[in-house]
Structure 1
Amino acid sequence: MTTINSEVGWIGLGSMGLAMAQNVHNFLKSEKKPALRFWNRTPSRGDPLLALGAVSCVDIVLLVGRCDLVFISTSDDAALVSIIDQILAVENIDGKVFVDTTTVHPNTSKATGDRLTQRNASFIAAPVFGATPAAQAGQVLMAMAGPSSAIEIALPFGKDVIAREVMVVSDQPEKATLLKALGNFIVAGTMEIVGEAHVLAEKSNLGSGTLEKLLQLNFGNLAYSDSTRMTQGVYMPGEGESPWSNLNLGIKDVQHGISCARDAGMRLKVAEVALEHMLRAKEFSDSNGGRPLDSSSGYGIIRQDAGLEFENEFVKNRDEKGRRNSF
């Protein structure tokens, strides 16, 4: 039987995964529990965890063999399926609990749960809401769905460890990822609206600063945070910097929402507009040497469609300063 005293494992160390894994390891350490065991396809991504005292595993089979509670954080549906294939190669996974924090299609969550249940293991879909800085601070929101007995085991690692709060959604894993798809739709729609408003403010000489103050005072943290991602250049990170939320993953997330709506017999028209801008932002990235862009970079396309440059003044000044400092 899995308990909080069992060894805990973590699979996948992207920017979000690494941040959450560090918080889990620090929690285990504070509770005087065994160190977190981890695996990542690129082993060097685990160096910060090694420095904290976590234990690297050479493969997924070894990690799962040692751990009764395993968290997964990977990039997309195909990557999750590949990881589950490797987990199922372990001879005995009876009673183990697997918690997937990845944003995947609800159908993928359902299929994953079915596969693991057939092997007497438990599966929880637990996607998180928030970008990398929130994950680093343990301030994401987590939605959990799965068997109540498994959720009881995973919950101690939720609130005040990985997340600021945990929503227990359902006993069906796919309901958590459906909620995440809806959340991503709201985020993408808000980015679209805020981006268009900023371009209008700039074109009409009202000024981005004035609009941003309005968003801060009257429209809540989501709209204000999206605004600062634009005005502070997060939408187009500086050379060598990583995006808060990778554009390619953002495209995947919005596509999932559109697919869920189609399955329900409706359309998310705002999401379709946002997706068009995100896909064109990817084309811009590809034509600029594959420069990484944030999921908010549809703002740059809105600028171009209005006759402005993709880069706003903040980005141009920052990049020019970076070029001068490189000499």
Structure 2
Amino acid sequence: MAIKDPRIGWSGLGSMGLPMAMNLQRHLSKTAQTNLTYYNRTIASGKPLQDLGAVPATNLLELVDKCNVIFTMLANDRVLTETIQSIADSSIPITSKIFVDCSTVHPDTTESVSRTISGLGAIFLSAPVFGGPAVAATGQLVFAIGGPGPAAAGIRRYIQNVMGRKIIECGEEPKNASLLKIGGNIITLNLMEAVGEAQVFAEQTGLGTAAMEELITESFGGIAGGYSKRLTSGIYAPPLDTRPGFGVSLAIKDAKHALSLASDFSVSLPGLEIAHNNMSASRDYAGECLDSSSMYGTLRVNAGLPFWNGTSRQG
């Protein structure tokens, strides 16, 4: 199901949503399609997007009214649920509109909002992404898509080689894409934990972090190497006046979703439990302005080192 000459909207311009929307707007401009319409609670966050030609909406309902394909990239389950409910409670008809949610939320949330949207005659696709803000900026994200096949096929042209390099099909049930995203987060957070442990080991034994980082990158690939650079460059604890690449509270939320589902299905995730506990301890010690890799700070403290390394902020 491809809508001919759709008007596309975007809601949510955080650390992931903004670079994704910018790539989409560049594509629309390059292919002489109607400019993206966007909305964000802090509308000033969309200034880089507006500079590319995108058009701000004064509120969410205006965006939904004007557009027939609406992408969302929102912070958490509560924000997504409230956003969809506000649309459902409005008088705006949404029959045949396509909603594409890229947020990372619990599968139960995906199922709930999908029922709400489909009950009003619209179509809901779950399309969470794999990769951080730097990957989003390059348009190299991996997307998982769950939902009605014809609609999913129709929006591929706005994802493949635009915002992402790969789409993984998850079938007709939107919640399956959310399940895949949560499963991927188990790997991501365990890998961050492992890289942090290796780098603390390297520092404490006198080997040094440079040699360890080179090994991590060469033997385990660019993703693991990128996680190592978050530590050695101090990004795990950035300056207080900056925004972390992917905030620790979002990562803790993702870990909780995975642990909750694992409990429901009698699956043990001991590695993720450790990563979750270390991230929580880091946030308790150093506050919200931390990257998802900040379990490294707790690992440092446990080894007798300061939470801060030489390139991070110092308090």
| TM-score class, shorter | over 0.9
Aligned length: 314
Please report how far the alpha carbon of residue 90 of structure 1 lies from its aligned counterpart in structure 2 after TM superposition.
4.0
1:67-88: CA deviation from partner (whole Å, max 9, x where unpaired): 1100001100000001101221
Quick one: percent identity of the two aligned structures? Answer: 37
In the TM superposition, what are the counterparts of 1:6-155 in structure 2 within 5 Å? 6-88=6-88, 89-155=90-156
> In structure 1, the residue corresponding to 2:242 is in which secondary structure?
coil
Deviations 1:98-131 (A, max 9, x none): 0000000011111111111111111111011111
- TM-score scaled by structure 1? 0.93
Correspondence for 1:260: 261
Aligned twin of 1:302: 299
8 Å CA contact 2:236–2:312 kept in 1: the answer is no
TM-score of the superposed pair, with normalisation by structure 2? 0.96
> In the alignment, is the contact (CA less than 8 A) between 1:7 and 1:36 conserved in 2?
yes
Q: Which amino acid aligns with 1:301?
A: T
* Whole-angstrom CA distance in 1 between matches of 2:311 and 2:53: 40
Q: How far apart, in 1, do the equivalents of 2:22 and 2:96 lie?
A: 25
Residue type at the aligned position of 1:171: E
1:5 partner amino acid? D
- Greater mean alpha carbon deviation, residues 137-146 or residues 217-226: 217-226
Contact 1:258-1:268 at 8 Å conserved across structures: yes
Letter in 2 for 1:300: G
* 1:124-160 deviation per Cα after TM superposition (whole angstroms, max 9, x unaligned): 1101111111111111111111100110121111111
Q: CA deviation at 1:239?
A: 3.9
Cα displacement (A) at 1:216: 1.5
8 Å contact from structure 1 (residues 13, 73) kept in 2? yes
Counterpart CA distance in 1 for 2:270 and 2:310 is: 31
CA distance in 2, matches of 1:16, 1:90: 30
Aligned ranges 1:205-244 → 2 under 5 Å = 205-244=206-245
Letter in 2 for 1:28: L
Gaps of 5+ in 1: 321-327
DSSP-derived class of the 1:99 partner: strand
Higher alpha-carbon deviation: 96-105 or 218-227: 218-227
Compute the displacement of 1:310 (Å). 0.6
Q: 1:198-241 CA deviation, whole Å, 9 max, x = no partner?
A: 11111111111111111122112222111111111111113422
Distance, in Å, in 2 between the alignment partners of 1:228 and 1:236 is: 12
Please give the secondary structure, in 2, of the residue aligned with 1:87.
helix
Alignment partner of 1:94: what SS? coil
